[in-house]
Chain A
């Protein structure tokens, strides 16, 4: 057992549902107790979906515990098949089905006898994988299913498209800014003269999966979702995979160069260097921003980064390589893929933190007192408590992270968005500190910077008064250092004198 208040990645079935409901005309039936269809609420609220989320539950209740759920699951599948004629029904196990150990595969086979559409069992185990791994696995499973089906029927697409083309793999519902990223990637491909063969899973029809082999290469923009399907396609059809996330100026260029290499290897003869140069210098504002005085003022400022692998790694590189910001630590909650993360960020931050424990992350933030945080909603709230601005760069996210306006994180427009996000976070902090210096805020109250409870140290009146004169953005640090100093020397009362003695001792 583990005491847990908050989790970064959801349970496995969420991943399966995200992939299944991203496809057009695919219905997911969860094998779950009443109440586990909360996914529908999230999708309807966060994505502001106009359509009913194609997810229903085959309810597990007392009756099922006593008799098994065979009849019910089979009935629910065939009923949904009749009502909505989906192309595919994905039976989705949950934590409950994981321990009931019913033969769901068998139910699927039985339902398939009657159903007009296809029926499949999502092959995910609640206790072995999380949301992200399950999503990756489910996408792979669906792709394989339809490639095999087409092979059997003999209508698998043969040969490549005439012009260079790409499959964009991994865009999904409830993904962080996925819709905007998708538009941006399509635009980028158009600019490069590359046809988009298929985008999966978002908005795709399973009937089109048989066309996947026609693409010249696969682009997997996110590390978490799509790699499995892409490696399957590579293995089966030799389709090369470009897995460089085009986030940030340097990485976008790297991604495009990789595409160039992959296409030329298949005889395309393209040269994107001039395109990259034009975009970098004049379309994206990021390169110019990094030369501008604004950005100069950010030099050496401290930041911490935390999120999923894709976004935390890309953000770390942007901050450190493109803006000269000092990333004290970068971290990910994708424990299962930690090695990749370490390799990506090595050289761009002082320390790497791999953790799923939000408490540990909160403490690590309090410890280094950065000028800005780039993290998930949880880190944003830590930032609020510590008075440090935070830019949200990864899920878990709230409704405000599903903006209606165009806000990609990828591609050249994405670089502009990243600049705004980074710059706004830091200037917020700066403004705050200027206000403090010029007495804009009530300075009577001491701000304790620390995630844990108040200290037990005594401050004399004059000590307190001196402390209050120190600008807010460093006050917490000074307070902590002074208290540490006093504790080490067994000083019970902290007066102004002690404060200055401490200051001298640390040479600050």
Chain B
């Protein structure tokens, strides 16, 4: 890991942790879609099931490859044998869905009753003939997107250790190059290969929609950098090879455990870069990777300038406005950094958990951006207190609050513009090409409320209505 000097000017605080966020088991919703041959089994209670059922909305009706192993009183009092019970359910899953991997998601309950999922998994795996990955994505320890981190950290341990030697195996493994080379002749592929600089293999980690994977891979290809694999890949059977000494780079700010696992257990080298969110972030990310490989980046100036120019209509809307992040998904630092570069001010960034080491480069870029744009640095509030935050929002007259759904409608009713934070985790926000999507989301409330502003009904709560 790169050691970077801590930016001193940023102001870090920690509040009570009384804030609203999604339970990390929600990662099931996007990971089962990403990893097409997986099945996610959440071992928990009705509470977990109720949350997933409601949070996943209509997805639930599409026969998702996920289910609850709902614990009953007998499981809690240990009258029933955990192993036998899990075996029974997993056999049923194998029979009905035949997945290539079953991911067990441990929950608060399995933590409290100390169900030894990590111990049971290898035994059952042997009996069942299907790999079982265990992730403890519970609400006792983690928030929302950190769920993905626990799953990827567990998967990192399952990546093959040695690059396959046989040509046929190679084919199967390298799904990304297959994707990019689709429809090309062998000679063309060979010619393509020569476009790459000779560098130590690079594996990227973080679950992104396939189109974004392609875009970012191509972006690096322009610099002659080859992406050897991606964690996670489209299928579990295509998990990337991770040899000692490989370089890895994180795509999202919430992947600290995965980064640690890759460094400690797989002996990979982490490229600590800002995250490719916004044109500024994407550029900084590419530059950082290039610098590690001793490559002089080409054409980034024009590329970035061109993207900013294309955003001008949206920039006009946000310039000079203030944005407040209540904090619930860990994307906050990167988004704030981008929005400040867009010309916004940001008095406060709430964030569930702040890994200053993993996010070091991003924090540094945030600070630099503030200086260059001539705006005060935000206070970064870890484990925020939503009640206090709402008092601060009232006091500071914020133009846009990025927050969860629990607060969005009540704030709107009080005349305060809000954007629902969860959308940022599902929208495509990475790379040069998706900067517009971020601003599309950010400006939507401003555009909508602009068309309503002359109607005279900004405040829609009765006098004396309580906070």
Contact = CB atoms under 8 A, between A and B. Distances in A.
Given A1-B75, A4-B68, A11 B409 contact: no
B154 interface: no
Contacts of B466: 25, 51-52, 84
B69 A42 contact: no
Contact of A1 (B17, B64, B71): B71
Given A36-B47, A127-B73, A61 B467 contact: no
A32 B140 CA distance: 9
Contact of B50 (A5, A14, A57, A398): A14
B45 A11 contact: yes
A130 B73 CA distance: 13
A127 B76 contact: yes
A4 B70 contact: yes
A53 interface: yes
Interface of A: 1-7, 10-11, 13-14, 25, 32-38, 40-42, 44-45, 48-53, 56-57, 59-62, 65, 76, 83-84, 94-96, 99-100, 126-127, 130, 378, 381, 384, 396, 398
Contact of B51 (A35, A53, A60): A35
Contact of B465 (A1, A5, A6, A51): A51
B29 to A, nearest CB: 13
B143 to A, nearest CB: 6
A381 B59 CA distance: 11
B86 A1 contact: yes
- Most A CB contacts (10 A, CB to CB) among B18, B67, B68 go to B18
A139 B377 CA distance: 49
A34 B413 contact: no
Interface string B1-39: 000000000000000011111111100000000000000
B410 A95 contact: no
- Most B CB contacts (10 A, CB to CB) among A32, A40, A49, A62 go to A40
Contacts of B406: 37, 40-41, 44, 52-53
Given A10-B50, A36-B23, A65-B112, A59 B409 contact: no
Contact of B47 (A13, A59, A61, A100): A13
A52 B410 CA distance: 5
Contacts of B461: 50-51
Given A45-B405, A52-B466, 7 more contacts: A5-B64, A5-B67, A10-B46, A51-B461, A60-B108, A95-B46, A127-B72
B45 A95 contact: yes
B387 interface: yes
B76 A99 contact: yes
- Most B CB contacts (10 A, CB to CB) among A36, A76, A384 go to A36
Contacts of A94: 47
A44 B73 CA distance: 32
A262 to B, nearest CB: 37
A305 to B, nearest CB: 20
A42 B54 contact: yes
Contacts of A38: 22-23, 50-51, 54-55
B46 A3 contact: no
A51 B413 contact: yes
Contacts of B112: 65, 96, 99-100
Nearest first, the 9 closest Cβ-Cβ pairs linking A and B are: A35-B23, A33-B139, A40-B406, A50-B413, A35-B139, A381-B61, A95-B45, A11-B46, A1-B85
- Most A CB contacts (10 A, CB to CB) among B24, B25, B69, B112 go to B112
A65 B140 contact: yes
Nearest to B462: A50
Contacts of B86: 1
Contacts of B18: 56-57, 59, 76
Contacts of B144: 35
A13 B112 CA distance: 19
B92 A3 contact: yes
Nearest to A399: B57
A342 to B, nearest CB: 25
Contact of A52 (B17, B55, B407): B407
